[in-house]
Amino acid sequence: MQVTSSVREPLVTGGKTYHDVTHDVSRQVEGKPTLLWFLAFLTAAGTLAIGLIAVTATVWEGIGMWGLNKTIGWAWDITNFVWWVGIGHAGTLISAVLLLFRQKWRTSINRAAEAMTIFAVICAAMFPVLHMGRPWLGAYWALPLPNTFGSLWVNFNSPLLWDVFAISTYFSVSLVFWYIGLIPDFATIRDRATGLRKVIYGGLSFGWDGAAKTWMRYESVSLILAGLATPLVLSVHTIVSFDFATSVIPGWHTTIFPPYFVAGAIFSGFAMVLTLMIITRKVFKLEDYITMTHIELMNIVIIITGSIVGIAYITEFFIAWYSGVEAEQYAFINRATGPYWWAYWSMMTCNVISPQLFWFKKIRTSIIATFALSIVVNIGMWFERFVIIVTSLHRDYLPSSWAMFYPSITDIGVYLFTFGLFFTLFFLFAKFFPVINMAEVKSVLKSTSEKVRK
Amino acid sequence: MERDKNFILGVYDDEDVLLHAVSEVRTSGVKIHEVYTPYPVHGLEDVLGYKRSRLPIAAFLFGLLGTTLALTMQLYMMRFDWPMIIGGKDFAAIPDFIPVTFELTVLLAAFGMVGVFMISSDLKPWAQPRIFDLRSTDDKHIMAIDIANNTSMEVAKIQEILKSSGATEVNNKSFE
């Protein structure tokens, strides 16, 4: 029997039985979609449709439709790419790293967080593909395919190529991890259903029967996948940061980038998980499963990673001064006081100052404050990437080519497209898939519920 | 009597009762066909006497394959097939090959292991599983005992053993 200290808060409140868990989660899948769901889904799908115009324009006309110029060759595209990849870090962190650390509270949030990860990585992948200009040739530039140039292979010395391997491995391994976890829950829904639903969820459940031998193998697979996914999740944003750190652009050429990017990714990922989970628990009435304890613990992760990010910003500044390299020093002074000062100070306020409010227990246990701050954090993290990319480029070595970046309507449209895509996928997931991992919640129910304590 | 057709099912409500029951039933000489649970019960594989899964070995071997393939591919392309000077580096710039090698190791290890898991546990979209009791994916633990495998004991005796081990219900189930 598992024993948990009695000082710990119960993970599932409301005295739920095993059957209650099944019922509360399956109910969402089995019921008719509500009017609220339809409205939310249509808004997301509408945004997707409007954004599709901008995506079509980009593919049809080329990336001249964006606000880029000869000085600033990367702007919103790579900002949005890094932003979405960063958001996509929380899911696998929650399910893999917290599994290795035996943090049982992960069980009720890992399913939705992993789904969010997968959808965020799909959105992120849109940008590198689109910014190639001719995406239909992209496979030859990104993958080592034999071709009629010799074969002239892709360049394995380039961090941009490492990124292709990192992001695609991360996406596919996260997808497999997520799906393996879904199989037992699909079986639960299958065994409650009749008719067409039984056929569909029967197929999705891969013939799962819950045999002790299969569970033993399942546990083994989960543990090894977690062990593989842990260095993987850390490698992805490390390699994304190499895209910048291995260049010789002042403001990018920094050895601090890998840990700083990884901390920032976890920071923004947890913020997005909070934004989504606060809505999901309310709409689906899952307050007994995603409790205040969960929200508070996630807020603590946000304070820690937010502080790491803050220290990284200050370290960068110090090192720029200490290095004695004039170009480096100018890049940082220009960030804080140049024409993009507003972006820099938005970043500082949102990422460094606002998460410190979570030191107050009142704030980190308030739903409204958490929800508001989770959005503030993601605005701040978008500005962080914008500051790193655009302000480092806009005043380069040659003052005659200094320029400013102004996003075009197409830039905005492509960004909107990814929002539409993300929320369309998330709403479909929330309706048709069990949003909470029932099997894992049941496995911690006995050792952590209120009933057992009495 | 034909094997794998007629079963006695013990239904258990609690994971700890189940763990003790499995030991009791096994020591009394009854052979258990399989236990079906709605969630992973820790220690169940030990009391059932299952050997540890060899999936970690599969994962390691697939990972090794990934490492080898990745390094071979990169060295062949960059050092032998079309060497080019890039940034003044060696043709065989091993440190630069580490990220892709790592990613492919993880990719092959993960997919290889999951593939082996799917095959060994017979998980596939068109599978038609034999469900002993629909509640076994909800809130009940089901212990299935093949009658044909326990001919040395009377059915009533087996049912008695299950009852006394803490089963809340004892049922019969036959498959065509």
pLDDT tens digits for range A414-426:
999 999 999 999 9
CB contact under 8 A, B36 and A210: yes
Read off the pLDDT of residues A100-128 as tens digits, 9 standing for 90 and up.
888 888 888 888 899 999 999 999 999 99
Length of chain A: 454
Predicted pLDDT of residue A454: 40
CA separation for the pair A176, A182 (Å, rounded): 10
Domain spans in chain A, listed from the N-terminal domain onward: 18-445
Predicted pLDDT of residue A1: 44
CB proximity B129 to A under 8 Å: yes
B52: which residues sit within 8 A by CB, 6+ positions away?
B45
Is CATH 1.10.8 correct for B6-52+135-174?
no
Residue A453 has pLDDT above 50, yes or no: no
Cβ-based contacts of B117 with chain A (< 8 Å)? 180, 217-218, 221
CB contact under 8 A, B38 and A221: no
CB contact under 8 A, A22 and B139: yes
- Rounded mean pLDDT, B47-66: 91
Question: Which residue is closest to B17 within chain A, CA to CA?
Answer: A1
In chain B, residues 76-115 whose CB comes closer than 8 Å to chain A: 77-78, 81-82, 86-87, 89, 93, 96-97, 99-100, 102-104, 106-107, 109-111, 113-114
Strands B34-36 and B6-12: unpaired
Residue A195 in tokens: 């008719």
Class of domain A18-445: mainly alpha
Instruction: Return the number of other C-beta atoms located less than 10 Å from residue B121's C-beta.
Output: 23
A96 neighbors A177 (Cβ within 8 angstroms): yes
Residue A338 in tokens: 């140049």
Predicted pLDDT of residue A107: 84
CB contact under 8 A, A176 and B111: yes
CA separation for the pair A138, A155 (Å, rounded): 14
Domain spans in chain B, listed from the N-terminal domain onward: 6-52+135-174, 55-120
Instruction: Return the number of other C-beta atoms located less than 10 Å from residue B134's C-beta.
Output: 13
- Rounded mean pLDDT, A278-304: 88
Residue A34 in tokens: 């509500």
In chain A, residues 6-45 whose CB comes closer than 8 Å to chain B: 17-19, 22
Quickly state the pLDDT bin for A146 (edges 50, 70, 90). Answer: confident
Name the minimum distance, in Å, from the CA of B111 to any CA of chain A.
8
Residue B21 has pLDDT above 70, yes or no: yes
CA separation for the pair A315, A371 (Å, rounded): 29
